[in-house]
Amino acid sequence: MDELVKPFDSLFEQRVYMKIIEKGYKVIPQFETYGRRIDLVIQGKTERLAVECDGDYWHGPEQHEDDISRQRDLERCGWVFWRIRESSFYRNQDASLENLWKLLEERGINPLSKSTDIDATTNKAA
């Protein structure tokens, strides 16, 4: 997918989303909580995981401090985060996501289906 669609902030974020839903997970983009937004939230039956997509252009050293501060605030509210760097994703997409699949399994967050045709705006199978 080479065209940015709402609600995503970047093609990178959108592509990570697509990789996750291809595995059958329920993913909510641009999730709002406590006055903050999380790039992607993977929702299981009883658990959820925040995924932050750190784009190389937008997430330099200055922005990184703000991102980590925001993450710490949300972790105090019970959120668990997993972060992915854009350069790692584009270097090797499958390898860059291996730790995500392991963390989801450890947290008991399982795929809902194996459908690869899920609408990004509703996260429902088309």
Whether 126 has a pLDDT exceeding 50, the answer reads no
Q: How far apart are CA 44 and CA 27, in angstroms?
A: 9
Q: Which of residues 1 and 111 earns the better pLDDT score? A: 111
Cα distances from 87 to residues 4, 29, 54, 91, 110, in angstroms, run 18, 21, 9, 6, 27
Run of H or E residues at 36: strand 36-43
**Cβ–Cβ < 8 Å for 118, 3:** no
Confidence of residue 76 (pLDDT cuts 50, 70, 90): very high
pLDDT score for 57: 66
Average pLDDT, the chain: 87
Whether 27 has a pLDDT exceeding 80, the answer reads yes
Q: What is the mean pLDDT of residues 50-60?
A: 80
